[in-house]
Amino acid sequence: MHFLITVGGTREYIDPVRFIANASSGKMGYALACAALKAGHKVTLISASDLQPPVGMDFVGVESAQDMFNAVKKFFTKCDCLIMAAAVADYAPVRPAKTKIRRTPRYLTLKLKPTPDILKWAGTHKKKNQAVVGFALEDKKLRERAERKLKDKNLDMIIANRPAAIGVDKSTVEIKIHKCKWLKLPKVSKATIAKKIISLAGSI
């Protein structure tokens, strides 16, 4: 199979030196890429992470949500399975400043616009022989909100976890394939989680 995997947290620039970002480390996405490689699959990695890319896969570096969207659209038709492990920013500045914003005693108001919904686009444009896998990071109503995302974005599988999973090497995740029961993996390494996700994705 050919896996297209997105990783890391995007950066949405306010001015040339400041940006809106999130706490995503990219560890889960890189674990997925390594697991797919070890299983003998081809991998294209679209990364907004500062982590060193694993050897043996096609690598595409991006920064913003729009960059990531452009890259996904470019490579999507060539893959069998897209796994959107990246933490894509939901909003970006409407008009980033062309020069550094100077500090003043006054309040600063930023006007933000929604970024492209990459996962929904992929779920809408996938072909019969393609699978789309998403992640849902939720602090409340984990399964309920994850199932809604699975349905609304026309996904084949979703991995649900909580904010405590960010940046750590071990975490608890819950996995649901469309029309199947939930599977819970309690407090295991991201390498173990990744191996399971790749195995399940290959059977969809």
Q: Is 22 among the catalytic positions?
A: yes
Answer for the pair 44, 204: CB distance below 8 angstroms, yes or no: no
CA–CA separation, 198 vs 201, rounded Å?
Answer: 5
CA–CA separation, 114 vs 108, rounded Å?
Answer: 20
Neighbours of 80 (CB within 10 A): 17
CA–CA separation, 31 vs 95, rounded Å?
Answer: 35
The CA R_g of the chain, rounded to the nearest whole Å, is 17
CA–CA separation, 44 vs 87, rounded Å?
Answer: 17
Candidate list 22, 70, 129, 154, residue with the active-site label:
22
CA–CA separation, 139 vs 141, rounded Å?
Answer: 7
Alpha-carbon 23 to chain mean position: 13
Active-site residues, by number, are 22
